[in-house]
Amino acid sequence: MSDDEQHRDDDLLAERFEAYRGHLRAVAFRMLGSAAEAEDAVQEAWFRLSRSDTREVGNLGGWLTTVVGRVCLDMLRSRRSRGEQPLDTWQPGPSAEPDPVQDAVLADSVGVALLVVLDTLSPAERLAFVLHDLFGVPFEEVGGVLGRSPAAARQLASRARRRVRGADAPEADLVRQREVVDAFLSAARDGDFDGLLAVLDPDVVARSEAGLTAGAVRVASGAKSFAHLARVARPALVDGATGLVVYADGRLERALTFTFVADRITTIDIVTNPADLSVLAIEPA
């Protein structure tokens, strides 16, 4: 390869990396809670990319996300060994990836309050929660970063999720949240589109293994098709959060959890994967 061709390849690689920089910085900041350390982690990812042969990498964004995860995990473990807990208030910009729905979810997920809670988690719990719950990295890849099985990664994320939701949803709010969920369930059972819109935030996001649905109209339309399941759904606490569960032949078939702002539902998480369902803590509500 000539020098000119090498320079062109290097420039193309740098351009591709820059397209993911905002996303990688967001991942690193949620992991580390420090702007300076996040920048260091992203820079280390660039060094590793520039030294690697990525011609066979089909998903460069996913590859870089897991690299940043490994770098952040090492930094968290080193921090714990020194007893340091840096936390600042810099907020990362939106992801550079062209996915406005995902950007909306990520923007909703960040904040100093969340970072304070994340700082109480172990490095492994924090990585599993951030990569899977906030960025949708499959548990197979999360487990690879941690050097653990996918099932162990699920358990770490579930444990972290309970602690995060426990901090976000004080018991005093559960009564009102239950009222909102009851209204959602009733409207879903009746196919009441207006009733669904009344309890959904205009920018509500529904997340499932199948993907994301954003906006009250689209989510309400999807919820109407849930009517046959809504008739057998029952309220429950799912990992400590207000939710709904559906059983089939005595087996948990799906679970829904909700987050709220000003008595409106802002996020619906729908879990149907049996492996993910198996690690949920379900309590009657």
Examine the domain organization and report whether 118 and 226 are in the same domain: no
- Is there a contact between 255 and 268 (Cβ–Cβ < 8 Å)? no
47: pLDDT strictly greater than 50: yes
Residue identified by tokens 């005093």 is 172
d(CA 94, CA 106): 8
Which residues are paired to 270 by β-bridges?
256
Judge whether residue 84 has pLDDT over 60.
no
> Whole domain around residue 276: which residue ranges?
171-284
Residue 208 one-letter amino acid: S
Tell me the C-alpha distance between 9 and 54, whole Å.
Answer: 12
Residues 28 and 96 in one domain: yes
Residues 86, 70 share a domain:
yes
Chosen domain end from 140, 165, 190 = 165
Average pLDDT of 155-169? 72
Q: Write out pLDDT tens, residues 95-134.
A: 334 344 444 444 444 455 566 667 778 888 889 988 888 7
Same structural domain, 99 and 69 = yes
On whether both 264 and 217 belong to a single domain, the answer is yes
More confident residue, 250 or 172: 250
Within this chain, do residues 48 and 99 fall inside the same structural domain, yes or no? yes
Domains of the chain: total: 2
In this structure, are strands 282-284 and 200-208 parallel, antiparallel, or unpaired? unpaired
Give the CATH number of the domain where residue 187 resides.
Answer: 3.10.450.50
* 74 and 60 both lie in a single domain: yes
- Asked whether residue 156 falls in the same domain as residue 58, the answer is yes
Question: Could you tell me if 152 and 215 lie in one domain?
Answer: no
DSSP the chain: --HHHHHHHHHHHHHHHHHHHHHHHHHHHHHHS-HHHHHHHHHHHHHHHHTS--TT-S-HHHHHHHHHHHHHHHHHHHHHHHT--------PPPPSSS-HHHHHHHHHH-SHHHHHHHTTS-HHHHHHIIIIIIT---HHHHHHHHTS-HHHHHHHHHHHHHHHHHHHS-HHHHHHHHHHHHHHHHHHHHT-HHHHHHHEEEEEEEEETTEEEESHHHHHHHHHTTHHHHTT-EEEEETTEEEEEEEETTEEEEEEEEEEETTEEEEEEEE--HHHHTT--EEE-
Q: Quick one: tokens of 15?
A: 């351009």
d(CA 192, CA 221): 10
Give dist(CA 39, CA 28) in Å, integer: 8
Do 276 and 180 lie in one domain? The reply is yes
Same domain, 38 and 97: yes
Q: What average pLDDT does the segment 164-185 reach?
A: 74
Query: Which residues on adjacent β-strands are paired with residue 72?
Result: none
**Last residue of a domain, which of 165, 181, 204?**
165
Domain boundary among 118, 138, 165: 165
CATH number at residue 89: 1.20.140.160
pTM over 0.95: no
The rounded mean pLDDT for the chain is: 78
In this prediction, residue 167 carries a pLDDT of 55
Nearest to 280 by CA among 244, 234, 230, 227: 244
Paired sense of beta strands 282-284 and 264-271, if any: unpaired
Same domain, 62 and 130: yes
